[in-house]
Each structure stands twice: as structure tokens, then as C-alpha cells.
């Protein structure tokens, strides 16, 4: 089982990026995106269920959109109106459990992380 995240990079404030995370080896019911800024703990950003119900960290609502393509076993995070405080390593995570999950320990599989840097 592997999660491969991609799409990070350097962008100016107000810009956009789309992260992708391709899963292989099995099908997952739920995906999540987390991020970890330097010197800070990893935090939940967005999650999506099998039926594409989505939920978000309050500070990214209206700017970020999580989506999934079940046929491709891929989850996406569209990030618009990026701010310098969004700078972090972003990780995708997955679980076969059913429900909504916002804590690290609720996810069983993790991608390697992709760096997003937002300049002011």
C-alpha cells in the first residue's frame, strides 16, 4: 500500500496550487490532508468520505477544496487564495474506516509529504 503525494511548490500569496495523492494497493473509504509548518504540530486540513462528503479546518474553508476520483484512487486538494501562513509540508492520509476523521491517529496510511511555500 502506498500513497504518493505531489503538486507542491512555491507560489505567491493569492495564488493557487493543486495537490494530488494517488493511492495504490487498496481502496480507501476516507482520505485526509494534513499539514505541518516548521516548529508546529501536524494539523488536519481537510477530509473526504467515500460519498465525497467533505469537511475542513475553519481557516481554509472557502479557499481549499478536497475532492476524490474513486476510479483513479486519487484525492486532490485545490488550494486557492493562498496565504503565507499556509506554508507547510502537506501530507495525504487514508483509512478504511467509515466516518469523519480529523486526528492523526485515525488514519492508517500516510504519503511522504509535499512542500508548499507561499511567499508574501
pLDDT digits (tens, 9 = 90+) for 81-118: 999 999 999 999 999 999 899 999 999 999 999 999 99
Whole-number pLDDT of residue 116? 98
What percent of the chain lies above the pLDDT cut of 90?
A: 94
Whole-number pLDDT of residue 31? 97
Whole-number pLDDT of residue 40? 97
Q: What is the CA radius of gyration of the chain?
A: 13
Whether residue 28 contacts residue 34, with contact meaning beta carbons closer than 8 Å, is answered with no
Q: Could you give the C-alpha distances from 106 to 22, 86, 87, 101, 120, in angstroms and in order? A: 19, 23, 24, 6, 34
**CB contact burial 61-76 (16+ within 10 A = b; e otherwise):** eeebbbebeeeebbbb
Decide the pairing of beta strands 114-119 and 9-12.
Answer: parallel
Whole-number pLDDT of residue 48? 97
pLDDT-derived band at 51 (thresholds 50, 70, 90) equals: very high
Whole-number pLDDT of residue 37? 97
Whether residue 100 contacts residue 46, with contact meaning beta carbons closer than 8 Å, is answered with no
Strand partners, 115: 89
pLDDT-derived band at 12 (thresholds 50, 70, 90) equals: very high
Amino acid at each position: 500500500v502506498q500513497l504518493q503525494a505531489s503538486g507542491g511548490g512555491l507560489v505567491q500569496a493569492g495564488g493557487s496550487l493543486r495537490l494530488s495523492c494517488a493511492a495504490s494497493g487498496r481502496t480507501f473509504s476516507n482520505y485526509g490532508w494534513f499539514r505541518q509548518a516548521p516548529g508546529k504540530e501536524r494539523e488536519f486540513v481537510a477530509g473526504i468520505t467515500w460519498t465525497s462528503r467533505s469537511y475542513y479546518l475553519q481557516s481554509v474553508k472557502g479557499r481549499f477544496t478536497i475532492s476524490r476520483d474513486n476510479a483513479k484512487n486519487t484525492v486532490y486538494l485545490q488550494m486557492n487564495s493562498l496565504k503565507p501562513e499556509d506554508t507547510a509540508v502537506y501530507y495525504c492520509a487514508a483509512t478504511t474506516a467509515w466516518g469523519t476523521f480529523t486526528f492523526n491517529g485515525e488514519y492508517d496510511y500516510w504519503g511522504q509529504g509535499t512542500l508548499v511555500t507561499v511567499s508574501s
